[in-house]
Amino acid sequence: MVHSSKILDCTIRDGGLVNNWDFSVEFVQDLYNGLSEAGVEYMEIGYKNSARLLNAKEPNPWRFLDDNFLKEIIPEKKFTKLSALVDIGRVDPKDILPREQSVLDMIRVACYVREVDKGLELVQMFHDLGYETSINIMALSSVPEHQLIEAMEMVKESPVDVVYIVDSFGSLDPAGIEHQVKKFKSLLPNKQLGIHTHNNMQLAFANTLMAYQNGVTFLDSSVYGMGRAAGNCNTELLVSYIQKSSYEMRPVLGIIEKHMVEMRQKWEWGYIIPYMISGVLNEHPRVAMAYRNSDERDQFVDFYDKVTTPEATLATASK
Amino acid sequence: MVHSSKILDCTIRDGGLVNNWDFSVEFVQDLYNGLSEAGVEYMEIGYKNSARLLNAKEPNPWRFLDDNFLKEIIPEKKFTKLSALVDIGRVDPKDILPREQSVLDMIRVACYVREVDKGLELVQMFHDLGYETSINIMALSSVPEHQLIEAMEMVKESPVDVVYIVDSFGSLDPAGIEHQVKKFKSLLPNKQLGIHTHNNMQLAFANTLMAYQNGVTFLDSSVYGMGRAAGNCNTELLVSYIQKSSYEMRPVLGIIEKHMVEMRQKWEWGYIIPYMISGVLNEHPRVAMAYRNSDERDQFVDFYDKVTTPEATLATASK
């Protein structure tokens, strides 16, 4: 199958949720150059949230992207376009330059379905500044149908370019993805769709393929799968799979070899049993992430017992 | 979906290809008890090949299964049935007792499509001795269609109970699996089908689900995915996914916690870049396995260059 799909690599943005964005400038530059050589269309270089609004005490250049800093480290754009993600209530409109003055090409807005109106206000602003835009509806696997339908009525009327299906909990299977894609297509016949998956049940790549085969055009991925908890669909798999003369796997292998094997030894992401369990249970991985940071990290049976006993879940979550 | 599928755990048999069957009796017993508690229908406890025919110098109880030894370590059968795999030309008919004198319930025959006639002779013999039988057609992703059709003409007439689709190279995707299952069903309307996957492209579970959803009844898997090179579909994922009141994930988590986290530190299997590359290229993982045992094990770009240059491939393979 050959159609106009695009890969959006979110190694820095979603991977930063693993290591608190502890990425060297050299790594980010190597990633940008490698993705450009590989023919990957977009790279999400971080969050464009406001340090002030988040009361951040420490500098964190990939979490609070600054246009001057970006121009310094990427003085010359290559093939790959750059995107940034923002969260509702955490972005300061004053921080956003018009697109022609920025290195960024696209701004994506993450939101839960209940705050889609606020998300669309941001989309409108970024659109008016000249950016490509997306709205990424998180935690889709636990959204009631009627809420989704209402939200999509608003989305349909907005200027947003891409609407993302986000399997935040890594709990959907290919059949579930196909169902969601068909629903989104019927609700939003005038919009491009995107897919963002998590690998809790080792289905991130298969789910992304299913979306692609059903006409979804924006495919999120991360090199070596680096992303929160179980991580994302692997960029190297997408690049090797999609029959498109412009993609090259070799530069992505170079990034993995030079940086990511070592990073994976230092930081943890991927198919790990507590994340698998939270995916199966259709729950946010935060309880599992806390468990992996505790002394009981490998006590899988105990973890399973805790999260399948409601009172105990609350106790662990509030630790 | 609820239908009469069965899980066949091949941790010992396929996992033994990772560690030369260096499994303790305690581990095999814990695995058998755990799988029985989990409701897994079959456990493949090793190969029933002949040490004599293979000129083996060292004892290797899980590679050369012996009925007396099996009776000793599993004095009482529980829920899970036991199976063994044999290879063409490596099994001595004299080693096979009638089923009523053996702990084994099923004997499976692995063969390439060109030797299916020999495979079916073995099947006939095991069938006559009272065993359940399967024939496992290896390396299916590189079998020409006309060869498969000829082979299936013979298989159809044999008493074999289950015919397995084996993605030896981990190179099929769910669409490819669906295509194969439909072909097998039309060629073998009178046989049950089985699926055995490898995880080179992180598609083992998704491929197994696709087969299951298309009516394949025997689903191979390994606990924590332990199997040759990239490993197999994970038993814990199948057990958690298939809606069947008899399956329990908890005992499988117990096996992983007690044994497999440590085993994975000692031995290597799973999603590893050279195995991903051999899957993408539809090649046997042996070259990649040799590379992982060399000093260049993490030089992925070099490996990619070698295996995509025909002369170099031969040089590496013959090392």
> Is pLDDT at B81 greater than 50 in this prediction?
yes
> Is pLDDT at A14 greater than 70 in this prediction?
yes
Categorize the per-residue pLDDT at A244 as very low, low, confident or very high, splitting at 50, 70 and 90: low
Using alpha carbons, list the distances in angstroms from residue A296 to A19, A63, A66, A291, B254: 20, 30, 39, 7, 14
pLDDT number for residue A182:
97
Q: Give the list of residues 6+ apart from residue B291 with CB closer than 8 angstroms, or none.
A: B274, B297, B303, B316
pLDDT number for residue A139:
87
**Considering only alpha carbons, which residue of chain B is nearest residue A1?**
B175
The dihedrals phi and psi of A305, each to the nearest 5 degrees, come to: -60, -45
A4 or A26: which carries more pLDDT confidence? Answer: A26
User: Which of B207, B210, B253 is nearest residue A300 as measured by Cβ atoms?
Assistant: B253
pLDDT number for residue B2:
47
pLDDT number for residue A247:
93
Task: Assess B205–A contact: CB distance below 8 Å, yes or no.
Answer: yes
**Considering only alpha carbons, which residue of chain A is nearest residue B272?**
A224
Q: What integer is the mean pLDDT of A261-289?
A: 96
**Best mutation site among B271, B292, B303 for testing chain A: the one with the most A CBs within 10 Å?**
B271
User: How close does chain A come to B136, measured CA to CA in Å?
Assistant: 25
> Is pLDDT at B316 greater than 90 in this prediction?
no
> Is pLDDT at A34 greater than 60 in this prediction?
yes
> Is pLDDT at A318 greater than 70 in this prediction?
no
Q: What integer is the mean pLDDT of B56-64?
A: 94
Q: Which amino acid is at B169?
A: F
Residues of chain A positioned with their CB less than 8 A from the CB of B210: 174
- B 90-119 near A (Cβ less than 8 A): none
Domain spans of chain B, in order of start? 6-266, 273-317
pLDDT number for residue B312:
52
Burial of A159 (0-12, 13-18, 19+ CB in 10 A): exposed
> Is pLDDT at B317 greater than 60 in this prediction?
no
Categorize the per-residue pLDDT at A245 as very low, low, confident or very high, splitting at 50, 70 and 90: low
pLDDT number for residue B248:
94
Residue with tokens 């150059």: A33
Query: Average model confidence (pLDDT) for chain A?
Result: 94
Closest-CA residue to A14 (of A164, A147, A216):
A164
CATH number of A6-266: 3.20.20.70
Categorize the per-residue pLDDT at B142 as very low, low, confident or very high, splitting at 50, 70 and 90: confident
CA separation for the pair B123, B163 (Å, rounded): 11
pLDDT number for residue B71:
97
Query: In this predicted model, what pLDDT tens digit does every residue of A179-220 receive, in sequence order?
Result: 999 999 999 999 999 999 999 999 999 999 999 999 999 999
pLDDT number for residue A141:
83
Residue contact A240–B173, C-beta within 8 A = no
**Best mutation site among B37, B178, B248, B257 for testing chain A: the one with the most A CBs within 10 Å?**
B257
How many degrees, rounded to 5, is the angle at CA A12 between CA A58 and CA B207? 140
Residue contact B273–A175, C-beta within 8 A = no
CA separation for the pair A23, A85 (Å, rounded): 17
Residue contact B280–A249, C-beta within 8 A = yes
Residue contact A201–B237, C-beta within 8 A = yes
Task: Assess A201–B contact: CB distance below 8 Å, yes or no.
Answer: yes
Q: Which amino acid is at A78?
A: K
Closest-CA residue to A166 (of A241, A212, A213, A111):
A111
Task: Assess B175–A contact: CB distance below 8 Å, yes or no.
Answer: yes
Task: Assess B309–A contact: CB distance below 8 Å, yes or no.
Answer: no
* ipTM for this model: 0.93
Query: In this predicted model, what pLDDT tens digit does every residue of B184-238 receive, in sequence order?
Result: 999 999 999 999 999 999 999 999 999 999 999 999 999 999 999 999 999 999 9
Residue contact A300–B205, C-beta within 8 A = no
pLDDT number for residue A140:
84
CA separation for the pair A125, A115 (Å, rounded): 16
Query: In this predicted model, what pLDDT tens digit does every residue of A126-170 receive, in sequence order?
Result: 999 999 999 999 988 888 999 999 999 999 999 999 999 999 999
Query: In this predicted model, what pLDDT tens digit does every residue of B266-294 receive, in sequence order?
Result: 999 999 999 999 999 999 999 999 999 99
> Is pLDDT at B319 greater than 90 in this prediction?
no
Residue contact B209–A280, C-beta within 8 A = no
